[in-house]
Amino acid sequence: MEKQLAGETMTPVERQVAAWLAGVFSLRMLGLFMILPVFALYAEHLNGSTPALAGLAIGIYGASQAVFQIPYGLLSDRFGRKRVIYAGLVIFAAGSVLAAVSGSIWGVIAGRLLQGAGAISAAVMALAADLTREEHRTKVMATIGVSIGISFAVSMVAGPLLNSLIGVSGIFWLTALLAFGGIAVVRFLVPDPQDERLHRDTQPVPAQFMRVLRDSQLLRLDFGIFALHLILTATFVAVPHALKDLAGLPPARHWEIYLPTMVLGMGLMVPFVIIGEKRRKLKQVFLGAVGLLTLAELALIGFHAGFWSVGVAMLMFFTAFNLLEATLPSLVAKMAPPDAKGTAMGVYASTQFLGAFCGGAIGGWLNGHFGLSAVFQMAALVGLLWLAVASTMKNPRYLSSYLLNVGPQADEAAAARLALTLTGIRGVAEAVVIADDGVAYLKVDRHALDEAALLAHSVTPAG
């Protein structure tokens, strides 16, 4: 992550931007995730529903999200961040209403597809970058990232509880209200940016797509997030049925499985994150988490008919899932070129949502034709394939991204000379200076960095 400049603190406005935009993200992700643990059972009562179509409805949002994720970010450069965010949230709300009022599975599929089309993530990230200084941007992005993780955890528990109170259609209505709440937050609480410009650390740059797509290490991580969300979505095509039909747990009580296993899983993953980062064992921890995820799916194959056995398998699942969700973005940041981090993360996010789509569609089809065990078998096979792919990954360099405001340069030659100078500073491994951006994109060793020498080149030195 980017290192904070010495002596600098976030301004109240920057802290508010981080909090409010994290809230907007959370409201939207709650709407997407809350139906994950409950929809497979709800779909049984919809006209025209089949297990395959139910799985498609669960994952279809990922297809449109993957398609529109990057274009929305590019459109926000042209039409303004807030306008694109408003449009995306309105589309998301419209999809939620369509799903709420639909009595047929096809209507819900259309609603979920429309929900995914309201893909505001890139535009929100760009707005956050516009409103924060370079040296604090990662803290803002980390706040948003944490909010997404919390939203997922809350959704696993809130979904079954709300289902017992207002039903799945009520959850869709609530989701629409949350979207309009997000619009109000952006309109009245988030400041208007004075300058909207490209930020290579948070936004994709079309000219860099091929560079990122040719990077075999980044492609391994893209496959990883694809596999992770395929397994996640496929698992929740099947687990609600297993809990209700085989373990005998009514849907209103499914939270009794999800709450303790999710909370314990989040706690258990923390020491492994510390070991990976502090002791530089990230690859080993990463491979162990992929192996644990695969073991969870293997356990579900043979033991998905019992309350306690499902509980143990889900504890393994959530521990591995939370650990992988935390380490994958860190690995992308470490391996991406310093000036192409935003592009790498954009491709990564798109493959994540594509994985969710494939997990729902394939998982639903397998459930309909071969039963629940086939869904878990497929997920386990994907986990084994991922383990094979990940085992060939290079050990990551333990470098942090570091942004330095150096001011606009006279030309590219001057930018190249400055980059060469910065590379000569102790602890700086890579430096790229874009003349027009006025920003130096660096990869640094935090433990060896001569920050005082680096700050001498900043146009906003600490003080």
pTM: 0.93
pLDDT score of 173: 97
Distance CA 416, CA 406 (A): 13
Which amino acid belongs to residue 271? P
The Cβ of residue 79 has, within 10 Å, a number of other Cβ atoms equal to 13
Nearest CA to 372 among 240, 230, 214, 196?
240
Distance CA 73, CA 439 (A): 20
For 103, phi then psi, to 5°, come to -100, 0
In 80-217 the beta strands, taken as DSSP E runs, fall at: none
pLDDT score of 8: 62
Nearest CA to 347 among 66, 155, 154?
66
Per-residue pLDDT of the chain (463 residues; tens, 9 = 90+): 334 444 468 888 889 999 999 999 888 888 889 999 999 999 999 999 999 999 999 999 999 999 999 999 999 989 999 999 999 999 999 999 999 999 999 999 999 999 999 999 999 999 999 998 877 787 888 888 888 888 999 999 999 999 999 999 999 999 999 999 999 999 999 999 988 888 888 888 999 999 999 999 999 999 999 999 999 999 999 999 999 988 889 998 999 999 999 999 999 999 999 999 888 899 999 999 999 999 999 999 988 888 899 999 999 999 999 999 989 998 998 999 999 999 999 999 999 999 999 999 999 999 999 999 999 999 999 999 999 999 999 998 888 888 888 888 878 899 999 999 999 999 999 999 988 888 889 999 888 999 889 888 888 644 3
Would you give the distance in Å from CA 277 to the centre of its chain?
A: 20
Distances (CA, A) of 131 to 194, 434, 447: 8, 20, 29
Tell me the Ramachandran region of residue 145: left when phi exceeds 0, alpha when psi lies from -120 to 50, beta otherwise.
alpha
Domains of the chain: 11-195 (1.20.1250.20), 212-398 (1.20.1250.20), 400-455 (3.30.70)
Contact 323, 271 (CB under 8 A): no
Which amino acid belongs to residue 56? L
